[in-house]
Amino acid sequence: MKRKSYHRKQKRVKRTRKTLTLFVAFASAIVVAFVALRIYVQVAGAPPLTVPKASIFLDENENQIGDHFTNQRRYWVGLNEMSPYLKEAVVAVEDKDFYKHGGFDYSRIAGAILVDIKAGGKVQGASTITQQYARNLYLSHEKSWTRKLNEALYAYRLEVFYDKDKILEGYLNTVYYGHGMYGVEAASRFYFGKSASDLTLAEAAMLTGVPKGPSIYSPIANLEKATNRQHVILKLMADQGAISQEEKTRAENEQLVLKNDSWVATKSVAPYFLDVAWQEASEILKTKNLDISEGGWTIQTTLNLEHQKAAEEAVAKNMPASDLQTAFVSMESKTGAVTALVGGRDYSVSSFNRVTQAKRQPGSTIKPILYAAALENGYTPLTFLDVGETTFTYDNGRGTYAPKNVNGQFADHDMTMAQAIAISDNIYAVKTLEDIGFKEFHDMANRFSVGIGAKDNLSIALGTIETTLYEMTNAYNILASQGQQTIPTTIVSIKNANGDVIYENKDVTSKAEKAISKENAFILTEMMTGIFDPVFSDYSPATGISIRSRMTHTYAAKSGSTNSDQWLIGFTPSLTAGVWNGYDQGKNLTTKEDTAATKQIWIDFMETVNKGTKNEDFKKPKGVEGVVIDIETGKLATDACPKQRLVYVESKDVPTEKCTNFDILDSNTWGEFWNMLPFSLFKGDEKNKQ
């Protein structure tokens, strides 16, 4: 018996030793594993918290007008920039022990494992806020043990290197709230039209319920289910002491107003403009070795919301019910700041930007640039040319070119440059180019940043080389800025996600080079006011007569037309606007509605934005004088010459002759007439009598 008792005792000792050994080995393995894990975590370092962020666009007054995002719409905000109710609601429903555990809730994990074992698969989660944040940042939402293991590893790393508030902030900025919204700020703006910092308790609880199932608990998708979940969250908050019963009751009874319709409407603000601004901002950041796709940029633009509204309303009012397309852009003269831009009739149908991307023949809108070159080569507004029907020869007489005017008619008399630009005479333009030479025209076009092609062809005087409305409007903007070169821009400043100013657009106009002299810019500008003056009408009316009755301000402008394009670009001393109309596929303009839209859009815009403002006159520089001229002769007008007009020329070019030597209403004329009679005889007799 003693022997058997001894053997049993020895067996117990062996089992005990084996168990103890296994326990020590297991414990050692765990310690080693934790040490190895800790070493790995330290070596691996803090996991990055970078996520794609939406970039925000502001208008000139720093009002938000849109955003740009890559895959996810997200605005990152700090925990202190969120309503405190959000923090309390999320912790209450997602992880009540968040501030107590080290990233894992072991009791919830154990319960979830038992459920999964019974179900034979991964059906229930026990993820803490830290684990969910890790999944949102680094992993997919696949339900597998491998993904869960990786999730735990990332969660541990997050807990080691970041404090609880940083983790909670990250979670709230990455969780999905449905409808393409990531993070509380984007969701708050979408659902309630306000920043996350301004959410009420009821709104915060409603928003917190959405991530559990965005397609089920979104108040837009199912208000009843969303409200039920909101009440569950409010009860949890009250039970955990985060809010009082009175606050809970008040929040349950609060009538929430959803603002998603308003949010959608704000996304349609100047979409063509925002595309241009995004592209320009991208180029600016490239020069600083920065990538715009990082997101998180705050881009203040030059957009003037009143101007944009006026432009869009003018387009909507005047475009005919056809496939006719449009383009509009306006710029400040001194800075080149783009204040409004419409790249087509409907961005949702076509995002093709007809302001910056469409290259079309500018027609007669090119003529002011040609005449700027002419003014530098001896021409004046009173230079006469024979503008009768003309056939030009080129290529040593082997080719001919016979330009026509829009109505097919020609003048039967010589004409001044001032009148030729007013009625858009084509013969005058071609003869001018032939006279001054292609080199001078190319040089001037380069100074105005307009491409007119490399080939020397007389037809380029009539705008046959394609260009964009953006380029042409900027060229006119140079005239509006008294000949100072301008560069169109949509950007005021760019800040990074930390609020640091990366780029600021300084007004460099004062340092810019001159395209033409102030004198010539003013003289050309004043000639361009003539398109609205009927005194210049001849075989064809002055081209702006149809909108003259609507003008309450002084404008300088030039129209242009081809078989498939209509243009009008004009300006005041402070603002330039350009309009184009045509068909995308080059279809000819055949109806009156097609050809009338351009001028009506332009005048609607200019009169709207200038309403209630004082009229601006173009500033006359020294060395330029205004004289009243007889249009038909180019000489000083008298009352005997009915076609009179104030014309500005350089002082040296002021005419000295009158249009006629006899004016029945001029006292000087009568004095000269009496002096011509032989009254001296009678005067002599009178002396003798005395």
Separation between Cα atoms, residue 27 and residue 21, nearest integer Å: 10
For residue 630, report the phi and psi dihedrals to the nearest 5 degrees. -80, 120
- Catalytic (active site) residue 364: yes
- Local structure of residue 516 (DSSP, 8 states): S
State both tokens at 366. 């090119």
Q: Check if the beta carbon of residue 481 is closer than 8 Å to that of residue 514.
A: no
How many degrees, rounded to 5, is the angle at CA 611 between CA 478 and CA 57? 65
Q: Which of 83, 88, 94, 169 is catalytic?
A: 94
Q: Where are the beta strands (DSSP E) in 335-455?
A: 338-342, 384-386, 392-394, 399-401, 414-416
Taking CA atoms, 334 is separated from 331, 510, 520, 575, in Å, by 9, 9, 17, 9
Q: Check if the beta carbon of residue 577 is closer than 8 Å to that of residue 605.
A: yes
- Catalytic (active site) residue 593: no
- Local structure of residue 56 (DSSP, 8 states): E
Question: Please, what is the end-to-end C-alpha distance for the chain in angstroms?
Answer: 187
State both tokens at 160. 């080691």
Separation between Cα atoms, residue 672 and residue 650, nearest integer Å: 30
Q: What is the largest CA-CA distance in the chain?
A: 189
Q: Which amino acid is at 269?
A: V
Q: Check if the beta carbon of residue 73 is closer than 8 Å to that of residue 186.
A: yes
Q: Which amino acid is at 399?
A: G
State both tokens at 168. 């909670």
Separation between Cα atoms, residue 315 and residue 622, nearest integer Å: 40
Separation between Cα atoms, residue 264 and residue 448, nearest integer Å: 40
Q: Check if the beta carbon of residue 387 is closer than 8 Å to that of residue 425.
A: yes
State both tokens at 50. 């970078």
Reference 429, options 438, 420, 416; nearest CA is 420
How many degrees, rounded to 5, is the angle at CA 235 between CA 230 and CA 237? 95
The Cβ-side half-sphere exposure at 490, using a 13 Å CA radius, reads 26
Q: Which of 364, 481, 540, 559 is catalytic?
A: 364
For residue 313, report the phi and psi dihedrals to the nearest 5 degrees. -70, -35
- Local structure of residue 623 (DSSP, 8 states): T
Separation between Cα atoms, residue 311 and residue 306, nearest integer Å: 9
Reference 231, options 243, 249, 244, 216; nearest CA is 249
Name 305's Cβ contacts closer than 8 Å, sequence gap at least 6.
59, 61, 63, 65, 269
DSSP string across 79-110: GGGS-HHHHHHHHHHH-TTTTTSSS--HHHHH
Q: Which residues pair with 56 in a beta bridge?
A: 67, 298
Give me the active site residues, please: 94, 364
